[in-house]
């Protein structure tokens, strides 16, 4: 099973938003901002009862990469002026619903990191 680090996820979010080209490396500041946002969003999701694998180094299972990136991108996009806060807030329930479903339907037999939120 492929897993992704927090830095991998942060770079993915920046690429998904078009802030970094596919062949480019994000700046250290942009990467740090995205990683900070990841920490905050993971905490927020935990408070909402959405159990995801933790986002520490090499802990995000591949099947969650795109869905988690979409949710985190909503907060990063507002910071870069790519979307309004009100539009982002309207989109969050859609992405969170998908994450809840994925977490509940994870295939049997696949290990899940012990340190859930």
Please state the domain extents for the chain: 3-104
pLDDT, average across residues 47-60: 70
Q: What is the pLDDT of residues 60-107, one digit of tens each?
A: 888 899 999 999 999 999 999 999 999 999 999 999 999 988 887 765
Residue 63 DSSP symbol? G
Side-chain half-sphere exposure of 22, counting CA atoms within 13 A: 0
Q: What is the pLDDT of residues 3-21, one digit of tens each?
A: 888 999 999 999 999 999 9
pTM of structure: 0.83
Scored b (16 or more CB within 10 A) or e, 23-41 reads: eeebeeebbebbbebbeeb
Contact indicator for 11, 65 with CB cutoff of 8 Å: no
Contact indicator for 52, 95 with CB cutoff of 8 Å: no
């Amino acid at each position: 099973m492929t897993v992704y680090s927090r830095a991998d996820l942060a770079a993915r979010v920046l690429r998904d938003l078009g802030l970094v080209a596919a062949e480019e490396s994000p700046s250290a500041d942009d990467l740090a901002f995205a990683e900070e946002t990841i920490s905050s969003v993971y905490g927020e999701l935990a408070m909402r009862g959405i159990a995801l694998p933790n986002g520490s180094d090499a802990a995000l299972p591949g099947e969650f990469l795109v869905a988690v990136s979409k949710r985190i991108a909503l907060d990063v996009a507002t910071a870069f002026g790519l979307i309004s806060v009100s539009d982002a807030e309207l989109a969050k329930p859609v992405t969170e619903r998908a994450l809840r479903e994925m977490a509940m339907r994870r295939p049997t037999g696949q290990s899940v990191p012990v340190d859930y939120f």
